[in-house]
Chain A
Amino acid sequence: QKEVEQDPGPLSVPEGAIVSLNCTYSNSAFQYFMWYRQYSRKGPELLMYTYSSGNKEDGRFTAQVDKSSKYISLFIRDSQPSDSATYLCAMSDEAAGNKLTFGGGTRVLVKP
């Protein structure tokens, strides 16, 4: 079993819809949770960064962490065709230093 599980998709939604992405993990020591966006033929870029449990909002993006369920989510409101990309969750713990454990990524396609 992988340490971080993420549905590969693809997830296809119409423009303006809410995109809902999630990851489950098995390591209860994870405390730092990130979402990266990766466009085709590009490197990942950080979208959201949260520490421990709770919600964080940034514009159209909301990240949620539920440590009791070992489950994290990313919501994209009012989705745009430019949101079409692969979304990767990543997480880390104190002992791991800068080592991130990534999910496999979910490919999202927002149709005009």
Chain B
Amino acid sequence: EAQVTQNPRYLITVTGKKLTVTCSQNMNHEYMSWYRQDPGLGLRQIYYSMNVEVTDKGDVPEGYKVSRKEKRNFPLILESPSPNQTSLYFCASSYGGYNEQFFGPGTRLTVL
């Protein structure tokens, strides 16, 4: 089944404790993105990657890191999480820039 998977689905952590949210897709997509979704603000892009070893900032990159060492994986790293990073995070992938983006199921992160 074609899909984007994210882990964990739910995470509660404390300020400053490094964490990684994994994202994997099995559709051989070149493009992958991370979004955060907050009430009233919709989905905002954090980082995106056009291919292996190619990443770039989205609209809200501060406090986040990403890497793209393999085509299928695109982990999101929070080196020192803060409470304002409490949000619902989505990973997405697509064949190309203007094609349909497939979204993962989301990761709900709470930073205390």
Cα of A89 to Cα of B52 in the assembled complex, Å: 29
**Interface size, A (range):** 20 to 34
Q: Chain B residue with minimal CB distance to A44?
A: B103
Cα of A98 to Cα of B87 in the assembled complex, Å: 22
A102 contact from B4, B44, B100, Cβ within 8 A:
B44
Q: Any chain B CB within 8 A of the CB of A29?
A: no
* Closest chain A CB from B107 CB (angstroms): 10
Residues in A whose Cβ lies below 8 Å from that of B106: 41-43
Q: Any chain B CB within 8 A of the CB of A75?
A: no
The 8 A CB mask of A26-43 against B (1 = contact, 0 = none) is 000000100000000111
Interface pair A92/B98, CB less than 8 Å apart = yes
- Which of A8, A49, A92, A97 has the most B CB atoms < 10 Å from its CB? A97
**Interface size, B (range):** 20 to 34
A97 contact from B42, B90, B92, B97, Cβ within 8 A:
B97
Q: Any chain A CB within 8 A of the CB of B101?
A: yes
Q: Any chain B CB within 8 A of the CB of A88?
A: yes
Cα of A41 to Cα of B105 in the assembled complex, Å: 7
* Closest chain A CB from B51 CB (angstroms): 11
Residues in A whose Cβ lies below 8 Å from that of B75: none
Q: Given the interface contacts A6-B42, A99-B58, A104-B41, does A45 sit within 8 Å of B103 by beta carbon?
A: yes
Residues in A whose Cβ lies below 8 Å from that of B43: 44, 88, 90, 100, 102
Cα of A97 to Cα of B49 in the assembled complex, Å: 11
Interchain Cβ contacts under 8 Å between A and B, 8 examples: A4-B42, A41-B106, A43-B105, A98-B48, A98-B96, A98-B101, A100-B43, A104-B42
Chain B interface (Cβ < 8 Å from any Cβ of A): 4, 31, 33, 40-45, 48, 50, 58-59, 90, 92, 94, 96-98, 100-101, 103-106
